[in-house]
Structures are given as C-alpha cells and as structure tokens.
Amino acid sequence: MLEPVLSVGLMVALSGLPVALPPPLCRGRVVGQYDPKLDGTPSKRAIAEIQAAYDALCPKQDCGRGQIYENPTMGMNAATWVSGLGQGNMTQVRIVYSKQFLNALSDSFGPGASFGVLAHEVGHHMTAALGMRTPGENNWNEELRADFMAGCALGRAGRTPEELENALRALASVATASHPSFSQRVPVVRKGFEDCRKQANAASRVKPPFGLGELLGEASTDGCWRYWYRLMEDQSHVGPVAAPRRRTRGFGDEASCEAHRKRMTDARTRVTEACVCE
C-alpha cells in the first residue's frame, strides 16, 4: 500500500473510490481503452506536480479527497473523474495518466509542460468542489474554467513565463473535440497565470522576513529591484516543481541586481528569474 503523500485532505492510494463515478471530464480519444485493473503507483514527479497544484489551488486544504494513478492503458492521455459536485470537502476525484504521456510532454516541451497539464486536471476537482458547474451547460465552459485554474496554479506556484509558454504548447498538443479551440484557451490560461501571480507576489511582500533568508540579508529592502530564485540544493532534494520559490533582498538599481543574480547563477547555487522592480 502506498503511503498517503498528498495534503489538502487528499491521498494517493491503490484502492478504488467507494462511489460510482460519471464519465470522465477532460477525456481524450483513448479513454475507452482504460483498464482500471492496471492502475498503479504514480511516479514521484507526478506526485510532486499534483501536490504543488493542490497547494496552489486549495491552500486551506478543504477541497475533498483525491487519488492519482499511473496506468499504461490510458495511452497518450490523462483523465479526471469527479464525484460530489458542489460538496466542498466531500468532493472526490480520480486522476489517471500514463507515464509515457507525461514523459513525452516534458521531453517535447520542457519544464512546466507536464505540470500545466496535470494542474488542468486538478482544476476540474476545484470547479467541482466549489460548485462552479451548472447542469446541462456546454462542456467547453468547464474546460475553460480548468484552463484558468491551470494558469492560476502556474502563477501561484511561482512558475516562470517560459514555463507558462511550455505548458500552453503542451495543452495545445493534447486538444481533442471535447475541448475548445486553442485560440479560446490561450487567453484564459494567461489570465489565470497573471491574476494569480500578481496575488502571490503581493502576498509575499507583506510577509515578515524569517529563517535563513533573513540571516543572509535576503529580506532587506534597500531598493525595488529583486529577482526570484530556487536553490539548486532544494531542486536536487524535491525536484524543480516542489522546490520553494524565494525572493532576494531589494537592490538599488537593475545593474546591481543583475550582477548579483549572475554571480549566483554562474556559481550554480540558484535557478533564477530576471530582475524586476517591484
């Protein structure tokens, strides 16, 4: 039995959900081949990315229970089954993907691609738990809501604009007749990213400094120029998605900020974003 690893009242398990589930949302062409008897333990990367999406979209941990499985019969696809619409903490979800599908997304489109697709699946859980669906509505409305949630997860998790673009290309590659056209989806994902990224950045500015960053002077405010970064050590331990995103102290001008950023990048202690005046 796999130990529970997801927070938010969620768990990864190998037992089936104790309720009958409706047809899956976010279904592709090969869901009909899905054999639940072959559900297996998800990869560490999939768990980390799903967890990061839940941490971003359900910080109060009141969204219900979720299960994630890896299953080769899914083909190049992922699907989400949801039960308990509008029931908040009683809502249950089942996300199933194939390993070859996630690997292909990462290999083809780069960092952020598989996270964006999995966050879209988590988005279906959020819209169900929050009661955002109405009976008989066009399925495309639900897909666009999940797209907004995927963009929001990317923004709140501190993913870079480059990773957003990778996720957008990945989402475009898996479009099916059950989804709106990509021209409709792009602005929705971008809006979710921008809105939630601004909220996350604003929240970080009002938090008091603490921990190692304070001791190193990272949290001082002698200027508006800063950059966001992830420590290489964190990435080696928990991977690029789960590694916490940190912000430097303020620099008086862009040149000083960039010089500091370049030293840290050249020393390979950090994976950095560009300096911005905030």
Would you kindly state where each structural domain of the chain is located, as residue ranges? 31-201, 210-277
Q: Is the pLDDT of residue 30 over 70?
A: no
Going by C-alpha positions, the residue among 207, 222, 199 that lies closest to residue 152 is 199
pTM score of the predicted model: 0.69
| Tens-place pLDDT, residues 91-125 | 888 899 999 999 999 899 998 999 999 999 999 99
Instruction: Please tell me the distance from the alpha carbon of residue 246 to that of residue 74, in angstroms, as a whole number.
Output: 37
pLDDT more than 70, % of the chain: 74
> Predicted confidence band at 25 (pLDDT cuts at 50, 70, 90)?
low
Alpha helices in the chain (DSSP H): 44-57, 99-109, 113-129, 139-156, 161-173, 182-206, 211-215, 232-242, 254-266
The mean of the pLDDT values for the chain is 77
Give 216's pLDDT tier (boundaries 50, 70, 90): very low
| Neighbour-count burial for 89-124, b at 16+ CB within 10 Å, e otherwise | eebbbbbbbbbebbebbbeebbbbbbbbbbbbbbbb
Residues 220-247: what's their mean pLDDT? 74
Task: Give 130-153 pLDDT, tens digit per residue.
Answer: 888 776 666 778 888 999 999 999
Q: Is the pLDDT of residue 68 over 80?
A: yes
Q: Rounded to 5 degrees, what angle do the CA atoms 151, 178, 138 make?
A: 85
pLDDT of residue 96: 93
| Reported confidence tier of residue 79, pLDDT bands at 50, 70, 90 | confident
Of 11-25, 115-129, 154-168, 223-237, the poorest mean pLDDT is in 11-25
Q: Compute CA 88 distance to the chain's CA centroid, rounded to the nearest angstrom.
A: 20
Residue 31 pLDDT: 57
Average pLDDT of span 201-206: 60
